[in-house]
Amino acid sequence: MVNQPTSIRHSLVTAAALVVLLAGLKAATPVLIPFLLSMFIAIIASPIVSFLTRLRIPRVLSVLLVLLFIVCLIVLLAGVVGSSVNDFRASIPIYREQLLVQVAGLGEFAAKFDIDLSMNIVTDYFDPGIVLGLFANTLTGLSGAAANIFIILLVTIFMLLEADTMPQRMHDAIHNPGVRMSQVNKFLKSVNSYIAVKTMISLLTAVPITIVLSLLDLDYAILWGILAFLLNYIPNVGSLIAAVPPVLLALLQLGASQSLAVAGLYVSVNLVMGNIVEPRIMGKGLGLSSLVVVLSLIFWGWLFGSVGMLLSVPLTMIIKIGLESSNSGHWFSRILSHPDDLKPKESEQIDEA
């Protein structure tokens, strides 16, 4: 009984500290987002830099070559996305007129079955402006951080230059003899592998989508391909969000049958990639349960916006490895773990008994 007030007091202090920490992170979002993007770019570029250094190219030169390629790619993508979004915004009135024509035909069809379909209600809830808003909100974090491109690239350069010493630094920072160097290396390789596989899967998803949409003569096919590539990094719902604008645009521009074809394209590509290709390459992934992946997506998206959604899995893995090294937080790391990761430990306990 004596320890109960102390335990309650400790829980309240911990909860208050957590709230203050989250409030601080939320307030510091403009500063943290460029850092997170730098980490994201560094993780993707690190294997390429390592490959170049194995070819006996100096590490500094390898980093500069990779960064030069990334800058050229960003400039190219920014030009395509920027011009396409501006054109799309200018075309909204045209799409709205096409929507009214579609709704008028739908209203006549519904009238045959004595269904009163109000045009005002449909246009209020099915406005192309909503699609543009969804698309713009998804890219707000990335485009806002792009204004800090110099800071992002500068931080990325230093991250890549010191990437080979990062495992030892993490091991020293943890200060836990139970966490061996091999565990730190395994964690870093897992995150690196996850990002690399996601990048490849995103590319394999975006290319056929761009080609088929171009063959269908859908407006801004390249833009929708880029959107599919970027949002595929977001677990579970990213591909769904990426499909909404082109499907609705196909309905307005090409008609219902072509819109269904576009929807079928996205479903088939994502089924093949998500259920066949990705599991075979990635296996269990990073050892996080599916529920934790979804919840982390919501949490990091709330905290850091679209950038947090992109990095939700790596950020959660960082929390997980930190909890695993803590005696007081180890229980929570078990909650975050994939069910398959718990089976060996359970069998060990049975054997010991």
| pLDDT at res. 242 | 87
Question: CB 99: neighbour CB atoms within 10 A?
Answer: 19
Closest by Cα among 81, 103, 353 to 224? 81
Residue 96 amino acid letter: R
**Separation between Cα atoms, residue 333 and residue 320, nearest integer Å:** 5
Chain-centroid distance of CA 202 in Å reads: 11
* pTM over 0.75, yes/no: no
**Separation between Cα atoms, residue 27 and residue 45, nearest integer Å:** 29
Domain ranges of the chain: 33-160, 205-283, 286-353
| pLDDT at res. 262 | 92
**Separation between Cα atoms, residue 38 and residue 303, nearest integer Å:** 17
Q: Digits of tens for pLDDT over the chain (353 positions)? A: 445 566 677 777 777 888 888 888 888 888 888 888 888 888 888 888 888 888 888 888 988 998 899 888 888 877 777 777 777 777 777 777 777 777 666 666 666 666 665 656 555 655 555 655 556 555 555 555 556 778 888 888 888 887 777 666 665 655 555 555 666 666 677 777 777 888 888 999 999 999 999 999 988 888 899 889 988 888 777 888 888 888 888 888 888 788 899 999 999 998 888 777 777 766 555 567 777 888 888 888 888 887 788 788 878 877 777 676 666 666 666 666 666 555 554 444 444 44
